[in-house]
Chains A and B, each alone.
Chain A
Amino acid sequence: MKIAAILRQVPDVVEELVIADDGRSLAEDEVMYVTNEADEHALEQALILKGRHGATVTAVSVGGDEARDALATAVAKGADEAVYVPVPFGDRGDNHRLAAHLAPAMKEGGYDLVLTGFWSADQLDAGLAGLLAAHLSLPYVGGLVSVAVDASTKKATVRKEFPGGRVGVMELDLPALLGIQSAEQPPRYAPVSKVMQAKRTLQAKELGGSFPKEDGVRIEKLLKSDPAVRAEMLPGDAKAVADQIVRLLRERGIV
């Protein structure tokens, strides 16, 4: 079995995001990148399946130079192959273009499963896995919290989480595209020494070709969110605060 996990590099919001002078993009020099959290779960789910079925896992890392570091980490965690997909700064976050760019390589790779995060922190449009599925005319389901594969029948049984904590169990024919919400267990840890070793010996294939210029999403303007209305602190001791809470609840007709 062959599994691909797509890892997108997204702006790390631990650092403040700075809007560039054009008012429509982030200031490139100020952005620090991190692997999209849901994509980390997609890789973990792929590695779990590898543990169960002895699959070959290909990590496909998308973005700038940082994407190479994400590949080293993926290999240190147990990925067998690494593919680097450079994406120009201005094109990041556009999943329509990314799907069009990745589709031929995903087809050529002959993967039984392509896993990626159900969402990404910088996505401007629809989910990547669904768009890729449309390009490849393959089944897709997203929002998954577990994946089980029956290699003999070439079917996958997946659990999808619905709002309100309800879970649906579905079956798909392989090959398929899956949007992972969370892996069955938290992403594993790769010790730094292993990551460093993987960095030194990393042999990543690079996906060449120019990024498709088909119509995608166009950003008109980027704005910082307005600070929310400040919280009001209720002064006084416990009794005084309790009195005020009761008064507020009555005033608002809640009790």
Chain B
Amino acid sequence: MSLPSPVTGVETAGTREDFATGFLRRLYKLPDGERILSCLQCGMCTGGCPLGYAMDYGPRKMIAALKAGRVDDVLKSESIWMCVACYNCTYRCPSRVPITDRMIAALREELLGRGVGVPAELQAAFEKTVRYGNPFGESPKKRDAWTKEAGVDVRVLGEGDSADVLWWVGCFPSYNKRNRKDTVGLARILNALGIDFGILGSDERCSGDLRCTSVGEVGLFNLLYEHNSQELGKRDFGEVLVGDPHAFNALSKEYPRLGTPLKVKHYAQFFEERLSELTPLIKKEMRVKVTYHDACCLGRRSGLYEEPRALLEAIPGLKMVEMPRNRENALCCGGGGGGMFLDSFIWERTRVPLPMQRVQEAAKTGADVLAVPCPLEISRFEDAIKTAGLEGRLRVREISDLLAEAMGLTGGM
């Protein structure tokens, strides 16, 4: 099999069929990859895609072209970089074609291998993640620097240490200044519940989902997986607790598939299971109207719809209202599948950005607070609120932050 030249992308007519056949063979070999062959061309995928209107090749057309051997035509399309891993297509597909995690990923992997057309911001995020284990280019040594602000003891588990719960903190919650406030809140709740927990500290690296699963940098994912699975193997723990739904996705779905079985819980599940212990610790009534945004990796990807709502409803005084698009119909914030690092690329090609549409939907419910279970959504929605002129009317808050406030744990934050 001969591949097109990585420099020019030019190929001769004689190699085209070989390349397409080879690409498809590799694609079909991926987990559930052969399901592409059972596509009915019903169009549920493109119809459900929040950015499908701006794609020259929506998912349905991509599948049709791939099956017809027109791999090159698909690869020339910018639509490949428009996917934000919202899992609408995957969720709605009656043939269960792994569109997000395998098809888009394989197409992106091909383009990455050729080194052509990779949006610059995403490339920079990859390079930094290779080098520093986080997409921001921050020092790996400073990953646990936030623990100094926590006000409670956060144990960094060394080799051979054990704890009931290993808390996978994640990149955004560890480094991003705005998210760190919520990370501290989560630490304080765990402490108040008397949970025996610890973190990996500077041995933790990006879990790999954010930029790898649907993003297609498979080599980078494998590098991160190998490092992380080794570090996890050196500690003894029962459950893994995560705050970032993307890390939840990677740790609960990809890591076991590759040979690292983990009992992973998002904090919304973890606390919901402990509601009877949590409720007596809630001291404050919070008279706020809250609407909840279902994160794609928790909702459509993992079916966790009720746990976050149950937690919010446990706060006295808090009134829940739903947006018209909720649960499996929730609109994506646009941050997944590398979307955090594709904003300028995608926004140039679309009309109203997804987070802007979503905060407008939230504001229309009359809610004061847009509650989220995902660190990426905080900055995306806060920016959108400013752009949409909704400042002062709507605030974005992590569920854990609302909970920490209700428990009287946010002092000095």
Contact = CB atoms under 8 A, between A and B. Distances in A.
Contact of A190 (B7, B115, B141): B115
A152 interface: no
A188 B141 contact: no
Interface string A190-208: 1111111000000000000
A47 B220 contact: no
Contacts of A77: 115
A192 B222 contact: yes
Given A14-B132, A34-B131, A192 B219 contact: yes
Contact of B120 (A34, A186, A192): A186
Contacts of A47: 7
Interface in B83-121: 109, 112-113, 115, 118, 120
A192 B141 contact: no
A189 B132 CA distance: 16
A195 B219 contact: yes
A78 interface: yes
B123 interface: yes
A51 B7 contact: yes
Contacts of A14: 132, 137-139
B408 interface: no
B219 A194 contact: yes
Nearest to B127: A189
B7 A192 contact: no
Chain A interface size range:
10 to 19
A30 to B, nearest CB: 10
B321 interface: no
A15 interface: yes
A61 B103 CA distance: 38
Nearest to A190: B115
Contacts of A155: none
A192 B115 contact: no
Interface residues of B, number: 25
A50 interface: yes
B217 interface: yes
Contact of A194 (B113, B120, B126): B113
Contacts, number: 47
Nearest to A185: B120
A78 B118 CA distance: 17
A16 B123 CA distance: 25
B223 interface: yes
Q: Quick one: which of B7, B130, B218 has the most chain A CB within 10 A?
A: B7
Interface in A16-66: 16, 34, 47, 50-51
Contacts of A50: 7
A189 B126 contact: yes
Nearest to B126: A189
Nearest to A73: B130
B6 interface: yes
A50 B217 CA distance: 26
A189 B123 contact: yes
Nearest to B128: A14
B118 A189 contact: yes
B12 interface: no
Nearest to A52: B7
Interface string B1-30: 000001110000000000000000000000
Contacts of B219: 191-196
Interface in A153-198: 186, 188-196
Interface string B229-266: 00000000000000000000000000000000000000
Interface in B209-229: 217-220, 222-223
B127 to A, nearest CB: 7
Contacts of A34: 131
B304 to A, nearest CB: 31
Most B C-beta atoms less than 10 A away, residue of A16, A186, A192, A193:
A192
A192 B8 contact: no
B218 A193 contact: yes
Nearest to B131: A34
A196 B226 CA distance: 13
Interface in A80-118: none
Interface of A: 14-16, 34, 47, 50-51, 77-78, 186, 188-196
Interface of B: 6-8, 109, 112-113, 115, 118, 120, 123, 126-127, 130-132, 137-139, 141, 217-220, 222-223
28 contacts: A14-B137, A14-B138, A16-B139, A34-B131, A47-B7, A50-B7, A77-B115, A78-B7, A189-B112, A189-B115, A189-B123, A189-B126, A189-B127, A190-B115, A191-B109, A191-B115, A191-B217, A191-B219, A192-B217, A192-B219, A192-B222, A192-B223, A193-B113, A193-B219, A194-B219, A195-B219, A196-B219, A196-B223
Given A15-B139, A16-B139, 6 more contacts: A51-B8, A78-B6, A186-B120, A188-B115, A189-B123, A191-B109
